[in-house]
Amino acid sequence: MDFLNAITLLLNYIFVPALAYGSQLALGAIFVTLIYGILRFANFATGDMMSFGTMFTILFTWYFQSIGIGLGVLPTALLAIPFAVIFMIGYMLLIDKFVFKYYRVSKSPPVQLAMVSIGVMFVTQAVVRIIIGPSDRRFFDGEKFLIRAGEFKDMTGLNEGLAIKSTQVITILVTVILVSTLFWFLNKTKTGKSMRAYSDNEDLALLSGIDPKKIVMITWIIAGILATIGGALYGLDKSFKPFTYFNNMLPIFAAAIVGGIGNPFGAFLGGYVIAFSEILLTYAYKKFFMYVLPESMEPDGLVQLLSTDYKFAVSFSILVIVLLYRPSGIFKGKVL
Amino acid sequence: MRKNLNVIAAYSIMMGLIILVGIFQSWNIALSIFNLCLISAVMTMGANIQWGYAGLINFGIMGYTALGGLAAVLISVNPVQEAWSAGGLNILFSLFFIIGMVLAVRYVLKKYEKSKTRTYIIAAIIILGIIIIRFVSEPGIEAIEEVDPAKTGFLGGFGLPIIFSWIVGALFAGGLAFVIGKVALGLRADYLAIATLLISEIVIAIIKHEDWLTRGVKNVIGLKRPAPYEVNLQQTDWFINLVEKFNSSKLNLISDFAERQAALNQFVIEGSSIFVKLCYSGLFLVVVIILLILTQKALYSPWGRMMRAIRDNEEAANAMGKNVVKQHLLIFVLGSAIVGIAGAMLVTQDGLFTPGSYRPMRYTFLIWVMVIVGGSGNNFGAILGGFVVWFLWIESAPIGLYLVNLTTAGLHDTHFLKVHLIESVPYFRFLMMGAGLLLIMRYRPKGILPEKIEIK
């Protein structure tokens, strides 16, 4: 019984949250990695682009709520996401046309493009704050829990409850659907294959008649979809605050690099690697040991390896270890 | 003279703008803008050394600034005796353990060939070390944080004049840069950028949450000053006489004695804060000028030429026998140390240390905008960038408000759009900075004052 309790505890506080958080990071990391692989620069506006997409999701959610359209038990935001995606793609293509295209055509070094992306970051952040303000916003509605802790206790007779939030389930489901579609697209369709070819070797791809304009446009479209959905899922699960989104850029980058930058599958797994290590290392294991160990050996402290304030340190340590021992990432990306 | 005309013109315009603020808003505001411009100029010089001279991206400027600020606290605050006796020993012991751990790792790294066993040994040393350190330090930290938490709750500092912290801040920042450089400098540019960004976040996290060292988010206030206090100035005779002499023409117009005295008092109060700010300006100006002379000398020295060679073609420089890795590390440390000075100056000027106020937008990316807008590789350009961008950063709120009022003039004052826009005026500064950066990068990629290399 104690053992089952311990397992439930870990499931409730580590596994389920980490799976949801990891999915959100994974979407962001694929976004970073696609931009890096095809457009060849580190996009420092990642976090703010995600918050931009989320902002549209929130605006549409409010609109739908005000005219009384809803999805019942599901959050209205799910209905709003497709509309937000359209706006986001428009924004992405607009930025590309007016900002990034010039540097791409003149073949600027990647560092310069990264600097330009900082300019985009400033502008995007300003637009988000001007439109929706810098404060914390929750836009979740519908049924909050799939399984409540209390119900679970009654059902199983365990001491520990397992609460599964509906947002966590939605996050994981949407991520699975989105990512498998994306991999199908990249691996099976002609456009996807030409995207990968372009990422592997630009000159060779151009020689074989691949249209770079189309590749770039499709990359931005996919990036827009990923950024909006990733951001909206994060916002649904936690809350929307522009500054948090900006900071999320760091674990996202760590995930992309850990997985091997330029490699979408690596980025996908990298998201989970970062999320699980962050939560595993900052969780206080006191209660877990209380169940597992005999009473005489119960720990006094919290048995917390790292305080939650240092979650950036986790991403960073993983990043450094990976870069020192496998500079191309866990799954071979571009060697940098 | 002629070739420096654009430099002189740009700086005159900048000074003119600050003087205009003095005339139209107040001299107090103008001087505080000027002081922060000087601090920003020091920061941009640090970033410019790394980016402009050597082409290294350092997105960790915020971390070094905060370390400089920490130095100001550790140097100037009086030591808290009770805290030292409560937990000082534990902290000292853990410090020794940390040093021991580092030495052990170094020893293993030097002594043994690269192998799997070596990796495991190092990992074991680090994990064991962390566990021991936690056991030793935890009771000490708890004891320290319990010592009068409302006022102290930390170890305090050395009680020295705060001006020393400018040097110590440089040492702190340089030391951190050395460690980071050892780990991260081999990485490619974008990776280095991300790694430094993460490290600066970690530095801020440590400063925010290690209350025994920095009081964390409880802030340290009332730091010592290198300049006189306003209250004291207002009671000293020579200062009152000085103000009287300075404003004699205005004061002579008032015939009534009591009124004249009241007016004089007002002038003294205003004058005292301006005088204090001028003291700071003087100190900062000295730092900026010394650094400018040093960096200019370095830029035109053989060393500077070598750095540019490394920046422009690393492989060629390497082939010519220059130790690229070592030079990169050196310049990384130097640039970060200069940023550390700026961090200490900033805290000195504010008189308080607020770890919560360190945000990457303000302390990392804004500095980068300054360097790029001003002109990377050119010290005068970088300093000018610091002035221009800081000036706009402060003045963008009034400008934004003016623009909002202008564009929404047709709307009623309570119209939701107008109200919303006026509320979000503070965020127009981000828009201005971003748009400015994008425009400069597109149409004048070398900045307002581009790098000019003359062979003397």
State pLDDT tens for residues B287-336: 999 999 999 999 889 998 899 899 888 889 999 998 998 999 999 999 99
C-alpha distance from A50 to closest chain B C-alpha (Å): 17
3-state secondary structure of A72: coil
3-state secondary structure of A42: coil
3-state secondary structure of A164: strand
Q: Give the DSSP letter string of A84-131.
A: HHHHHHHHHHHHIIIIIHHHHHTT--HHHHHHHHHHHHHHHHHHHHHH
User: pLDDT band at residue A255, thresholds of 50, 70 and 90?
Assistant: very high
CB contact under 8 A, B438 and A116: yes
Per-residue DSSP letter, A45: T
Q: Which of A118, A130, A312 sits opposite B201 (nearest CB)?
A: A312
CB contact under 8 A, A115 and B198: no
- Looking at the predicted structure, is the pLDDT value of residue A335 above 50? no
Task: Average the pLDDT over A29-49 and give the result.
Answer: 92
Q: Which residue would you say has higher pLDDT here, B156 or B41?
A: B41
Listed by number, the residues of chain A in 148-187 with a beta carbon closer than 8 Å to a beta carbon of chain B are none
CB contact under 8 A, B361 and A246: yes
Task: Average the pLDDT over A72-87 and give the result.
Answer: 91
- For residue B433, which residues of chain A lie inside 8 Å, CB to CB? 122
B48 closest CA partner among B325, B392, B292, B315: B292
- For residue A301, which residues of chain B lie inside 8 Å, CB to CB? 138
Q: What are the angstrom distances between the C-alpha of B386 and each of A189, A242, B65, B197? A: 50, 26, 15, 21
A145 closest CA partner among A172, A164, A169: A164
B236-264 exposure pattern, b = at least 16 Cβ within 10 A, e = fewer: eeebbeebeeebeeebeeeeeeeebeebb
Test mutation, B190, B192, B420, chain A, max A CBs within 10 A: B190
Q: Two tokens at B79?
A: 């030591």
pLDDT at B2: 61
Listed by number, the residues of chain A in 302-331 with a beta carbon closer than 8 Å to a beta carbon of chain B are 307, 309-310, 312-313, 315-316, 319-320, 323-325
Q: Two tokens at A171?
A: 């996050």
Q: Which of A119, A247, A320 sits opposite B441 (nearest CB)?
A: A119
C-alpha of B440 from chain center:
24
CB contact under 8 A, A250 and B201: yes
Domains of chain A, start order = 2-325 (1.10.3470)
Beta carbons of A283 and A13 less than 8 angstroms apart: yes
Q: Specify the long-range contacts of residues B111-114, CB closer than 8 Å, at least 24 apart.
A: none
Test mutation, B311, B438, B439, chain A, max A CBs within 10 A: B438
Residue in the structure block whose two tokens are 């340290």? B220
User: pLDDT band at residue B3, thresholds of 50, 70 and 90?
Assistant: low
Q: Give the DSSP letter string of B293-355.
A: HHHHHHHTSHHHHHHHHHHH-HHHHHHTT--HHHHHHHHHHHHHHHHHHHHHHHHHHHS-B-G
How far apart, in whole angstroms, are the C-alpha atoms of residue A256 and residue A258?
A: 6
Test mutation, A39, A43, A59, A115, chain B, max B CBs within 10 A: A115
- Looking at the predicted structure, is the pLDDT value of residue B363 above 50? yes
Instruction: Give residues with Cβ within 8 angstroms of B432, minimum separation 6.
Output: B392, B396, B399, B400
State pLDDT tens for residues A261-309: 888 999 999 999 999 999 998 888 888 888 887 777 777 777 777 788 7
pLDDT at A336: 37
What ipTM did this prediction achieve? 0.89
State pLDDT tens for residues B411-442: 787 888 888 888 888 888 999 999 999 999 99
How far apart, in whole angstroms, are the C-alpha atoms of residue B448 and residue A75?
A: 50
Residue in the structure block whose two tokens are 């607020």? B354
State pLDDT tens for residues A140-170: 888 888 888 888 888 888 888 888 899 999 9
Beta carbons of A219 and A225 less than 8 angstroms apart: no
Asked if the C-beta of A94 comes within 8 angstroms of chain B's C-beta atoms, the answer is no
3-state secondary structure of A216: helix
